[in-house]
Structure 1
Amino acid sequence: MPTMLEVTDVSAGSVCCAPLVTEPLGQTDAEQLAVTLKALADPARLRLLSIVASSEGQEACVCDLIEPVGLSQPTVSHHLKVLTEAGFLSRSKRGTWAYYRLQPAALAGVTEFLAI
């Protein structure tokens, strides 16, 4: 014997879903956040960011970042470039060396989103 399904009349204006209580991410914000999160979605980048954040003044020379992550200098430089373009680090040149400084506001933005 077939089971009878109960039919709910939705034509009377009843709402099946709870209304939004805050504004969701717009397309542009979602795309920017995706780029930002993608920059963090790599173990080497997370380690580099952690090393810079743990360094005195939250700043480190590229020369001090190569050995701890065990990658070649060009690879480390690539990862640092991605983190800089995503806004997590700033870069300054001193002589032949590049120094990277943590940008806490970028981390705060990601933290704020994830706390929703």
Structure 2
Amino acid sequence: MTQESAEVRAKSLKAIADPARLRLISMVAAYEDAEACVCDLQEPFGLSQTTVSHHFKVLVEAGILHREKRGTWAYFSLVPGALASVAPLLSSPTR
């Protein structure tokens, strides 16, 4: 694994290491068309809109979620293949 590859994967792992972010990823994936508005996810978490938005920002910066602004709301969807690069690290031994 190259240094650059390790840095990208570490950023992804750090982003998903938070329980709230793991739940957000799961909830976004479960929504119709695997897309959700921050306004739809604030209440289930019992967190403020700014806290939920912060978690989304971290996931977007890590390349796990895509953000699309529509009017006053932001909609989030999974970046295809984003979690595929870290999945092998979680399921197979390091050589």
The residue identity in structure 2 corresponding to 1:57 is D
When Rg is computed on C-alpha atoms for both structures, the one with the higher figure is 1
Deviation at 1:94, TM superposition (A): 0.9
Long gaps (5+) in structure 1: 1-24
How far off its partner does 1:113 sit? 3.3
What is the Cα deviation at residue 33 of structure 1?
1.2
Give, in angstroms, the shift of residue 96 of structure 1. 0.7
Task: Specify the SS of the correspondent of 2:81.
Answer: helix
Paired residues, number:
92
Name the Cα RMSD after superposition: 1.2
Deviating runs (4+, > 4 A) in structure 1? Answer: none
Q: Given the alignment, which residue of 62, 66, 70 partners 2:46?
A: 70
**Structure 1 stretch displaced more, 63-72 or 105-114:** 105-114
From 19, 29, 37, the counterpart of 1:43 = 19
**Structure 1 length as normaliser, TM-score?**
0.74
Q: Of residues 73, 85, 96 in structure 1, which corresponds to 2:72? A: 96
Identity of aligned residues (%): 64
Question: Relative to total residues, which structure has the larger helix share, 1 or 2?
Answer: 2
